[in-house]
A = this chain, B = another copy of it.
Amino acid sequence: MLNDLILCGLGAMGQRIARLALARGYRIRAVVDCDPAKAGKPLHELLDTPVPERPVIISSDLDAALDGEKATVLHATGSFLADVAPLLRTFLARGHDVISIAEEMVYPEAADAELAAELGELARKNGSRLLGTGVNPGFAMDVLLLALTVPCGQVSHVHARRCNDLSDFGATVLDSQGVGLTPSAFEAAIASGEVVGHVGFRQSIGLMAAHLGWSIDRIEEHKSPIVSRVARSTPYVSVAPGEVAGCHHEAVAYCGEREVIRLEHPQQIRPELENIETTDVARITGDQTIQMCISPEVTGGAGTAACAVNAIAYLAKARAGLVHLNELPLTSPRSTYFPSV
């Protein structure tokens, strides 16, 4: 069954996806994770969900997990195309559809055009479909902005600013944003590549440019520390005044010398302690100006799991090959509403 699911990757995001897929009535056929501490456990124990009729045991045997007829693989093991490509190849070679939340898979051409083409061709040959999705990239700074262009006859500039809260995240994410560093250590960590900021600007820009028919000549990125004026702490980190509470990362895309897309993404812990509102703000400039604010911002974690699960039914109707979000209808949750919500 195409709507049978195989889950690959049971980190925080993979678990969110598993919970939502079960709540939405999908059958999870197999679950694979490379963590030896998880292998052999029933999925429902890890998720702390009710015991199902046929419990699924978490496996570390990828080959066995991929056995059987065509299914949809939900993939959540990493962010970068180069890292996840070997796994994606394996899924596609077995004829499965694949939905990945790897950030770079939202528009893999922006990371490695040759590798993206190779994966697309492999999918096509095997009658499979390959899609990347998530809240950012995948929604807040691309698909949502494209939605706002629908009533525009001409668009000359797209601007978005996503200000979010990192307080729920653990060490991996906080380190990647430089949280807790001194400003000078932050600059050094930018230079060394330890602080990466947001992964996905080039995907958001690539997706929007492809949809709008724009040709982007140059992208400039800039990262700067968000230096806290107050003490901020979470269960994972404490930041003193004068230390770094997060990373302000921005990307600007040019067509010739003209700026056409500007994306700003300040990410930090405890923004409310400096009265900073978390928001998704956008401005489309063209034959009309559309200014939008979503407050608080669209939730990243739960939202990305929803984007992935919602896409299952839409991807099943797409052509084989590498599929981009802008080629699909809006991937809204299709289900009877939930009276308990």
A residues apposed to B, CB below 8 Å? 20, 23-24, 135, 139-140, 143-144, 146-156, 211-215, 255, 258, 260, 285-288, 290-296, 298-299, 302-307, 309-310, 326-339, 341
Distance, CA A291 to CA B299, complexed state (A)? 12
Distance, CA A135 to CA B290, complexed state (A)? 13
Residue of A326, A329, A337 ringed by the most chain B CB atoms within 10 A: A337
Residue of A140, A328, A336 ringed by the most chain B CB atoms within 10 A: A336
- Chain B residues with CB under 8 A of A212: 332-335, 337
Q: Are A154 and B292 in contact (CB under 8 A)?
A: no
Q: Are A309 and B156 in contact (CB under 8 A)?
A: no
Given A150-B306, A150-B330; 16 other pairs, CB 8 A cutoff: A23-B153, A143-B330, A147-B147, A150-B310, A150-B331, A152-B306, A152-B310, A154-B333, A155-B337, A211-B329, A211-B330, A211-B332, A212-B335, A285-B341, A287-B306, A293-B293
- Chain B residues with CB under 8 A of A155: 332-333, 337
Residue of A153, A304, A307 ringed by the most chain B CB atoms within 10 A: A153
Distance, CA A338 to CA B149, complexed state (A)? 14
- Chain B residues with CB under 8 A of A211: 329-330, 332, 334
Give 26 pairs: A residue, B residue, CB < 8 Å, sorted on A: A20-B153, A23-B154, A24-B153, A24-B154, A149-B333, A150-B330, A151-B298, A151-B302, A151-B304, A152-B306, A156-B338, A156-B341, A211-B330, A211-B332, A212-B337, A214-B337, A285-B341, A286-B341, A287-B341, A288-B302, A290-B294, A291-B294, A326-B329, A326-B330, A327-B329, A330-B330
- Shortest distance in angstroms between A307's beta carbon and chain B's nearest beta carbon? 6
